[in-house]
Amino acid sequence: MLGLEWSQAIELPRVADSATRPAEIRRAWVHRAPEDHVIALFLASSQTNDSLPAPWWLRAVATGRLNSRADGFRIEDRISQLLEPRPGWEYVPWAADGESGYWEFMPSERGPSGHRIPTTVLNTDRHDGWIDLLPAHSGTTPTPIAVAGLAGLRSRLGEFEAIR
């Protein structure tokens, strides 16, 4: 039953498919329910499934590395404020189950070898900078580049946009 309850907790409405920023997909139970209830259900559900789909910020809050869900939302929103006005960046709302979406730099899709997976910025709980970058690639997914938070993203954005 916990598995079913969790899958309903992270389920996004269909309207999320047209979202242009992370704030527009925060309509699932995990985004709206009291935070202590969300964490309790996540912890109970993850006891039977160590790869439970969940937003990056929830995994970070549950381990005590991020103070709150609101802090996670603030990080996502600041990335959105940085990338949204820049030409070529598009928000992709349909990430893995429970995740918050990601940003793609569309000009990097067409490199010397033709059609590729574009440069991608996504949130992570892998490290305390909370941002990973996947360079544009074909074939095997490269190891993510850990970005040192929003300041690191801002300072390296020109470099990341030049990856072809």
- Residue 16 CB partners (closer than 8 Å, separation 6+): 24, 25, 27, 93, 94
Whether residue 38 is predicted with pLDDT greater than 80 in this model: the reply is: yes
Percent of the chain with pLDDT over 70: 93
CA–CA distance, 18 with 28 (Å, rounded to integer): 15
- pLDDT digits over 93-119, tens only? 977 778 889 999 999 887 666 668 899
- Please state, in angstroms and as integers, the Cα–Cα distance from residue 5 to each residue in 1, 30, 38, 41, 52, following that order: 6, 11, 11, 8, 12
Whether residue 154 is predicted with pLDDT greater than 90 in this model: the reply is: yes
Using DSSP, how many helices (H) and how many strands (E) does the chain show? 6, 7
What is the per-residue pLDDT for 111?
Answer: 62
| Segment 138-164 mean pLDDT | 92
Quick one: tokens of 86? Answer: 């820049």
Residue 163's H or E segment, with its range, is none
What is the per-residue pLDDT for 127?
Answer: 98
Q: Which of 88-97, 108-117, 138-147, 154-163 has the lowest mean pLDDT?
A: 108-117
What is the per-residue pLDDT for 112?
Answer: 61
What is the per-residue pLDDT for 164?
Answer: 65
CA–CA distance, 154 with 7 (Å, rounded to integer): 35
CA angle 44, 122, 80 (to 5 degrees): 110
- pLDDT digits over 68-91, tens only? 999 999 999 999 999 999 999 999
For the ranges 16-25, 104-113, 133-142, the one whose mean pLDDT is highest: 133-142
